[in-house]
Amino acid sequence: MSGFDTRAIHAGQDPNPATGDVVVPLHLATTFKQDGVGGLRGGYEYARSGNPTRAALQELLASLEEGVAGLAFASGLAAEDTLLRTVCEPGSHVVLGGDAYGGTYRLISRVVSRWGVEHTPADLNDPDALRAAIRPGSTRVVWCETPTNPLLNVADIALTAEVAHEAGAILVVDNTFASPYLQRPLTLGADVVVHSTTKYLGGHSDVVGGALVVGDDDLAEQLAYHQNAMGAVSGPLSDWLVVRGIKTLGVRMDRHQDNAGRIAEYLLEHPAVSRVLYPGLPDHPGHDVAAKQMSGFGGMLSFRLAAGEEAALRACERAQLFTLAESLGGVESLIEHPHRMTHASAAGSPLEVPADLVRLSVGIEDVDDLLADLEQALA
């Protein structure tokens, strides 16, 4: 198998045989001419069911995650919804990692629950707690993020997969924070990888998309059926933008995590900061597991303010180079207050995040400029 950066630039992207295009063509057609009834060219008939630009992205995603198939969707939550409705049914049960993205929690607790699917939060760092949360015979999915959003907790993927498989459940890993450049859950025992391709894969804050990558042919076939039947597919322009973004994923991630490491060390010494949450710090409780299953520690970090919520809000509002905005993974640095922004839907639940928490998506700007901005924001 070729190296990661080589696959990022070439997998699913062979030059067009008719024209020699070195960039994947953008196919905007919604329907495709048939050579006689049922005589499909390349298997394409209608763009919801298949599009050549989407096919290129899906092949690329499968290659990067070392899976058998990739599936592209209109958003990360569209991918999650399709997955849950494929593998669950009324009466099914999901174990949800105790620190999960607020949108995932909202989908499972307030949308899928109305369909008769129940869930239990669990600390995935504690195998006994995970086993206690599982309901034999009804738990279909163990849902894991690692590193988590926004508390940067790290779960042992191989161990979690072992416990899930003992119970006959599948392990789903949201790999958005790490990206396949730093972590490949399927190689560690996971069954499905979820991505918001909006984030590091797209990388430029100009596309919304989601993806599933699967390690099993039968499950891939089921998911592909539901992708078409439910129809929450990505559009060709979105597919094209994600393919373009992935070409530079490796070099971007190197810079993201170099900057994040410098910022984490700076915040660790800042008198206004009570705690820094970054897996790259040796005293992070998940540092050893992260070092074992990741090739780097990523560009996301969070920190808590000793003076509480108002100080956190002031820091977010005073930042200038760090843009106050939701989302993450773009080349520009972002700052946000998860309690009131991305994770507001988890308020009052076991997944509620601390009100004094600030989350940073560290971009690829000159790190000295980022440090200066944090200095004035925390003054």
Collapsed DSSP state (helix, strand, coil) of residue 95: strand
pLDDT at 29: 96
In this prediction the pTM is 0.96
Structure tokens at 358: 């600030």
Asked if the peptide bond before residue 15 counts as cis, ω within 30 degrees of 0, the response is no
pLDDT in tens, 121-169: 999 989 999 999 999 999 999 999 999 999 999 999 999 999 999 999 9
pLDDT at residue 17, as a whole number: 85
Active site residues: 48, 101, 174, 199
Domains along the chain?
4-244 (3.40.640.10), 249-378 (3.90.1150.10)
Question: Helices (DSSP H) in the chain: which residue ranges?
Answer: 4-10, 52-65, 76-87, 102-106, 127-133, 157-166, 179-182, 217-230, 236-246, 249-268, 287-293, 309-318, 367-377
pLDDT of res. 346:
82
Tell me the average pLDDT across 290-319.
98
State pLDDT tens for residues 186-227.
999 999 999 999 999 999 999 999 999 999 999 999 999 999
Q: How far apart are CA 66 and CA 347, in angstroms?
A: 36
Tens digits of residue pLDDT in 37-51? 989 998 999 999 999
CA 307 to chain centre: 31
pLDDT digits (tens, 9 = 90+) for 76-115: 999 999 999 999 999 999 999 988 888 999 999 999 999 9
Output the furthest CA–CA distance in the chain (Å, rounded). Answer: 73
pLDDT of 1 over the 90 cut: no
Q: What is the pLDDT of residue 344?
A: 84
Q: Please state, for a pLDDT cut of 90, what percent of the chain lies above it.
A: 93
User: What's the pLDDT score for residue 343?
Assistant: 84
